[in-house]
Amino acid sequence: MAGRLYDRRPLTSWLLNHTSVRQQQLLLAVVTGVCVGLAAQLLKWLIEEIKFLLTSQFDVTRAQWLFLVYPVVGILLTALFIRYVVRDNIGHGITKILYSISRSKGRIKAHNTWSSLIASALTIGFGGSVGAESPIVLTGSAIGSNLGKVFHFDHKRQMLLIGCGAAAATAGIFKAPIAGVLFALEVLMIDLTMASLLPLLIAALTATVVAYSISGTDAMFDFHLQGAFSISQVPSSVLLGVMCGLVALYAMRTMIRTERLFSRISGLLAKVVCGGLVLAVLIYLFPPLYGEGYDIIENILVSGGRGDVGSVMNNSFFYGRPELLLLFLGLIVLMKPFATSATNGGGGCGGTFAPSLFLGCIAGYVFCCLWNHFGILGIQLSERNYALLGMAGLMSAFFHAPLTGVFLIAELTGGYDLFIPLMIVSAVAYLTIHFFEPHNIYAIRLARRGDLLTHDTDQSVLTLMTLDAVIEKESPRLSPDMELGKMVQAVSLDEHEDFAVTDAAGHLLGIVNLRSVRKLIFRSELYRLYHVEQLMAPATQTLTTTEDMRSVMEKFQGTKAEVLPVLSAERVFVGFVSRTRLLESYRQIIHDFSDE
């Protein structure tokens, strides 16, 4: 049974005192699934209602000048909401989750249980070219994190509840429980053990049942298989995988570089104006960039040919020009990453789930049309099927999550008969992008700062360790003009062997090791003849407070030193790090994350 803990809330107190930690974990997985499932359906409803209110009266035969207004208004409202109501950065939701797992002990602020939901509804409803999935995943993870806080869970169990929230969010918004579990395992790096699998599965299933009860049991997209897969389609599936990997690489690097440009813009209004105007112009020229783009995906998956798909050119200057369809779709693929980056960079709130599915669907459709047009290998392919395969390929490459890509697309559409080509395209797309970029779109920001938790146990432990936690700061500091006798008196009650010699400003001048001066400290007649300056040795290697733990380990390995001094950015001595304490901390984290 869990230890007796006091909590002001009677129900929480009773659960803490009468249930085991394992039972609490399973119960909270159910509660998380219910809450996140409801939140996901609420977000979808809000987005659809705002979009219907703003665009339902548009004449599809001509361009709409309001497309130049709505995105700017949406980004402005979102930016003002974040700045003056939330007062915290809620962008890049899944990146924030990864950071909280690796650096914040699994703690996600309470406002994230609702703030991302409102902000993303405003952004996407008014045309922001992003997805609602990352915000709802952040919402779900925040719900799990804060429930774990109430029950005083440790870091390991807190991480699992965050994973439950993310799995429930993915399952609830897509009606895809298997994909939800796989997303938590592949993207959030939740370790796969029997102790973790059951709570993840329960949370995902609970959220899916909530979604079924509200919006029915039909798959998200009404897809019908057009021709069975045959062995002759393996070459085209492989080539599509390569294409998806390259398109994902283009999109990822374009987004990262565009985000950097926006980060250099100072001032809320300047960012809103720049991001809003770029997005507005792109949507005005290419209306399918408005919002998540799921209506475009539905159109392509349900249509039977180019004539039907041509409706994607509604409200654009391309309307009524079906011969320009492939050019139009190709330009959309090129422009979508800029539209997504402008949305988030300008102050909007949204993720890249929907953009990856949108890009994949169009890329797969265009690939198939070109293949059929040139009659490659004398094989005719199904546009519907390859649009579906493209979605799996782009998502697998974009998030470095091939299993999530396969099962999400199968669950989204009911396209289980395409499992073999789905796996081929997803695997090839993942291998293609991994050759150029080892991290997914969410992790790349953290990986460059050394803050990424991975499935590599050694790397994960080093990420979770912090230098500040192992610095020993209590030892007395010596001055260079101190006599040997006074030095002996100063260090006599200290258990350490190494002592820093600093000047008046705290800068490190050298180190005195008691073993090296052992012959002197036992001869009292020398106490007035020697000074610390004569006894100290220069520090051959130092650490800095901003150094990552991998670098710290490498310096210890390279110098064979037992202790190393740590300096601040101003080169002021902070304390010592010992090899012994470093290894103890490493072993403790390994123990904390060992299998139950």
Q: Is the pLDDT of residue 25 over 80?
A: yes
Which amino acid does the sequence have at 227?
A: G
pLDDT tens digits for 74-116? 999 999 999 889 888 776 656 667 666 655 555 788 888 899 8
Sheet containing 543-544: order of strands: 543-544, 563-567, 573-578
Give the residue, 413 or 590, on which the prediction is more confident. 413
pLDDT tens digits for 128-170? 999 888 889 889 988 988 888 887 777 778 888 888 999 999 9
Alpha helices (H) along 93-193: 93-102, 115-125, 133-150, 155-174, 177-186
Whether 10-215 and 231-450 share one fold: the answer is yes
Question: What does the alpha-carbon distance between residue 251 and residue 288 come to, in Å, rounded to a whole number?
Answer: 17
Does CATH place domain 461-592 in 1.10.3720.10?
Answer: no
Domain boundaries, the chain: 10-215, 231-450, 461-592
According to CATH, the topology of domain 231-450 is: Clc chloride channel (1.10.3080)
Q: Report the chain's mean pLDDT, rounded to a whole number.
A: 83
Q: Is the pLDDT of residue 242 over 70?
A: yes
Are 17 and 2 within 8 A, CB to CB? yes
Identify the pLDDT of residue 575.
87
Give the residue, 210 or 447, on which the prediction is more confident. 210
Contact partners, residue 76, CB within 8 Å, separation at least 6? 272, 276, 347
pLDDT tens digits for 540-569? 888 888 787 777 877 877 787 788 888 888
Q: Is the pLDDT of residue 66 over 50?
A: yes
Across the range 352-362, mean pLDDT stands at: 92
Short-list 542, 133, 511, 534, CA closest to 340: 133
Identify the pLDDT of residue 105.
56
Q: Which of 173-177, 248-252, 428-432 has the lowest mean pLDDT?
A: 173-177
Identify the pLDDT of residue 445.
58
Identify the pLDDT of residue 452.
46
pLDDT tens digits for 26-61? 899 999 999 999 999 999 999 999 999 998 887 777
Task: Please state which of the four CATH numbers 3.40.50.720, 1.10.287.130, 1.10.3080.10, 3.20.20.10 is assigned to the domain occupying 10-215.
Answer: 1.10.3080.10
Across the range 459-474, mean pLDDT stands at: 67
Q: Give the predicted TM-score (pTM) of the model.
A: 0.74
pLDDT band at 473 (very low <50, low <70, confident <90, very high): confident
Question: What does the alpha-carbon distance between residue 257 and residue 169 come to, in Å, rounded to a whole number?
Answer: 29
What's phi and psi for 495, nearest 5 deg? -85, -10
| 563-567 and 573-578 beta bridge pairing | antiparallel
Q: List the structure tokens of 183.
A: 């997303």
Which amino acid does the sequence have at 353?
A: F
Identify the pLDDT of residue 514.
85
Question: What does the alpha-carbon distance between residue 335 and residue 137 come to, in Å, rounded to a whole number?
Answer: 26
Which amino acid does the sequence have at 385?
A: N
**Residue 579: is it exposed, middle or buried by C-beta count within 10 angstroms (0-12/13-18/19+)?**
middle
Are 284 and 342 within 8 A, CB to CB? no
Identify the pLDDT of residue 110.
85
Distances (CA, A) of 480 to 410, 487, 528: 72, 10, 14
Identify the pLDDT of residue 14.
66
pLDDT tens digits for 246-283? 999 999 999 989 988 988 888 889 999 999 999 999 99
pLDDT tens digits for 301-347? 876 545 466 678 887 788 878 888 899 999 999 999 999 999 998 98
